[in-house]
């Protein structure tokens, strides 16, 4: 069904290419690139992003099987790592040629019960994040299990996840993670008798820990132009632009309330514009009452009243605009980061909250 919503998220192909190229320049020539497109491509569009980059990267990664299936159905043939497979979805993973992360003995045993031959799997090692992953003390038993099933599966990659790669005050902890991972990977490879791809750096890890680039890196939020590194931020471009249009402009006399629960009153005669986007689309309610704003004709139009499910109201009294005029939501990375601070959250949450009824388009 065609999505005719006037609120649209434009994904800039040139910005994707620029950001990918920037991170590739940080790598040794033979180091592979895995792009993470989980959570609808960090709130953009996994399908649009992956289709644009499929000839430029070596791997994609998703969180769950359904995300990988959507990519396969869209025509993506690039290898896809499923970071958090569930036992209930293993048959689908095999059907769609997805590659599971076997992060525990339980999920490994479940997968080894399937009728597969030489199927690529991935092993995640817990080195300190203490989330998913095999503990180092489990590895001897894991290796014995894999050797018994060497005709069924082969280990495509061994990987881990840095817990604090963006925090240089945690360099000692991160270095211990890197060393622990290298020891675990060597144990597995020595036992199996062959080398696997090894990877453990995310966006911040790519920038701060070149010694951990190994065979492949995982590029996530940096692809979309966000990083804690100030120097890198100057090189990266904002990938997406969220825009809408003014539905109606209403004249509000001094003393009148606007919106639900009469939370805000006009202190002078106002012009209030209605914008068709709301908290159901990921525009956080914390931004109401003048805390947040949108950009209209290059000027800030501050929110007035509460954020509704489908609508926000903004003060355009001093802005020359009309119904049907364009509106920019989060006009810059700096604005989005500022909103994240106001909402007491992180930019990841603002990005991934953009609702799926917002139309996505990739622009060249």
pLDDT of 1 strictly over 50: no
Domain termination residue (choose one: 199, 226, 253): 226
Distance CA 97, CA 10 (A): 30
CATH of the domain at 356: 2.40.37.10
Number of neighbours of residue 118 by Cβ within 10 angstroms: 9
Give a yes or no: residue 51 inside a domain: yes
Q: Which residues on neighbouring strands pair with residue 357, listed in sequence order?
A: none
Same domain, 245 and 292: yes
Beta-carbon contacts of 352 under 8 Å, excluding residues fewer than 6 positions away, are 39, 40, 42, 43
Q: Per residue in 64-116, pLDDT tens?
A: 999 999 999 999 999 999 999 999 999 999 999 999 999 999 999 999 999 99
**SS3 sequence, 85-97?**
CCHHHHHHHHHCC
Among 241, 335, 323, residue whose Cα is nearest residue 275: 323
Same domain, 69 and 192: yes
Give a yes or no: residue 6 inside a domain: no
Same domain, 279 and 170: no
Q: Which residues on neighbouring strands pair with residue 242, listed in sequence order?
A: 9, 329
Q: Which two tokens stand for residue 257?
A: 């309330």
Q: Per residue in 206-231, pLDDT tens?
A: 999 999 999 999 999 999 999 989 89
**Residue 46 and residue 27 in contact, taking contact as beta carbons nearer than 8 Å:** no
Distance CA 207, CA 224 (A): 15
Domain termination residue (choose one: 198, 226, 254): 226
Which residue range forms the structural domain that includes residue 338? 240-363
Q: Find the mean pLDDT for residues 282-307.
A: 97
Give a yes or no: residue 4 inside a domain: no
Among 312, 305, 349, 308, residue whose Cα is nearest residue 328: 312
In this prediction, residue 364 has a pLDDT band, given cuts at 50, 70 and 90, of: confident
Q: Per residue in 144-172, pLDDT tens?
A: 999 999 999 999 999 999 999 999 999 99
Radius of gyration from C-alpha coordinates of the chain: 24
Q: Which two tokens stand for residue 8?
A: 């649209």
Same domain, 267 and 145: no
Same domain, 206 and 145: yes
**Residue 48 and residue 54 in contact, taking contact as beta carbons nearer than 8 Å:** no
User: How is the beta sheet containing 270-275 ordered, strand by strand?
Assistant: 248-252, 270-275, 312-315
Q: Per residue in 270-281, pLDDT tens?
A: 999 999 999 999
Same domain, 149 and 252: no
Beta-carbon contacts of 211 under 8 Å, excluding residues fewer than 6 positions away, are 178
Same domain, 213 and 354: no
% the chain with pLDDT above 70: 99
Same domain, 251 and 210: no
Q: What is the pLDDT of residue 334?
A: 93
Number of structural domains found in the chain: 2
Give a yes or no: residue 148 inside a domain: yes
Same domain, 212 and 158: yes
Distance CA 277, CA 43 (A): 15
In this prediction, residue 335 has a pLDDT band, given cuts at 50, 70 and 90, of: very high
Q: Which residues on neighbouring strands pair with residue 82, listed in sequence order?
A: 62, 100
Give a yes or no: residue 44 inside a domain: yes
Distance CA 322, CA 342 (A): 29
Q: What is the pLDDT of residue 3?
A: 56
Catalytic residues: 38, 260
**Residue 16 and residue 239 in contact, taking contact as beta carbons nearer than 8 Å:** yes
Same domain, 176 and 263: no
Distance CA 312, CA 244 (A): 11
Same domain, 213 and 270: no
Number of neighbours of residue 38 by Cβ within 10 angstroms: 19
Give a yes or no: residue 5 inside a domain: no
Give a yes or no: residue 233 inside a domain: no
CA dihedral sign of residues 104, 106, 109, 111: negative
Among 158, 183, 180, 162, residue whose Cα is nearest residue 171: 162
CATH of the domain at 41: 3.20.20.10
Distance CA 247, CA 256 (A): 20
Q: Find the mean pLDDT for residues 302-316.
A: 97
Give a yes or no: residue 2 inside a domain: no
Domain termination residue (choose one: 201, 226, 251): 226
Q: Which two tokens stand for residue 267?
A: 């202190």
Same domain, 90 and 195: yes
Specify the pTM: 0.93
């Amino acid at each position: 069904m065609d999505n005719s919503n006037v609120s649209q998220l434009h994904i800039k192909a040139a910005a994707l290419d620029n950001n990918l190229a920037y991170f590739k320049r940080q790598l040794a020539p033979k180091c592979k690139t895995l792009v993470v497109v989980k959570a609808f491509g960090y709130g953009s569009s996994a399908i649009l992003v992956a289709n644009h980059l499929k000839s430029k990267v070596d791997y994609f990664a998703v969180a769950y099987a359904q995300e990988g299936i959507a990519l396969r159905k869209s025509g993506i043939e690039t290898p896809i790592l499923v970071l958090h497979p569930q036992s209930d979805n293993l048959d689908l993973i095999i059907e769609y040629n997805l590659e599971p992360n076997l992060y525990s003995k339980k999920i490994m045993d479940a997968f080894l019960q399937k009728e597969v031959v030489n199927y690529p799997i991935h092993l995640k090692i817990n080195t300190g994040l203490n989330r998913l992953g095999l503990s180092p003390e489990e590895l001897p038993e894991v290796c014995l299990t894999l050797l018994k099933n060497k005709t069924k599966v082969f280990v495509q990659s061994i990987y881990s996840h840095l817990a604090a790669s963006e925090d240089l005050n945690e360099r000692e902890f991160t270095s211990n993670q890197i060393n622990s991972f290298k020891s675990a990977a060597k144990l597995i490879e020595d036992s199996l008798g062959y080398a696997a791809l090894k990877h453990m750096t995310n966006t911040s890890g790519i920038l701060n820990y070149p010694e951990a680039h190994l065979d492949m890196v995982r590029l996530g939020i940096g692809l979309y132009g966000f990083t804690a590194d100030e120097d890198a931020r100057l090189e990266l471009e904002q990938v997406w632009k969220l825009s809408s249009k003014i539905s109606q402009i209403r004249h509000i006399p001094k003393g009148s309330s606007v919106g639900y629960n009469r939370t805000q009153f006009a202190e002078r005669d106002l012009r209030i514009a209605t914008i068709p986007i709301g908290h159901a689309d990921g525009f956080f309610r914390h931004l109401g009452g003048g805390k947040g704003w949108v950009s209209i004709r290059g000027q800030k139009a501050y929110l007035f009243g509460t954020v509704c499910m489908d609508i926000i109201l903004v003060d355009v009294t001093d802005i020359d605009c009309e119904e049907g005029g364009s509106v920019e939501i989060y006009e810059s990375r700096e604005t989005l980061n500022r909103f994240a601070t106001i909402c007491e959250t992180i930019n990841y949450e603002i990005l991934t909250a953009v609702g799926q009824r917002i139309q996505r388009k990739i622009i060249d």
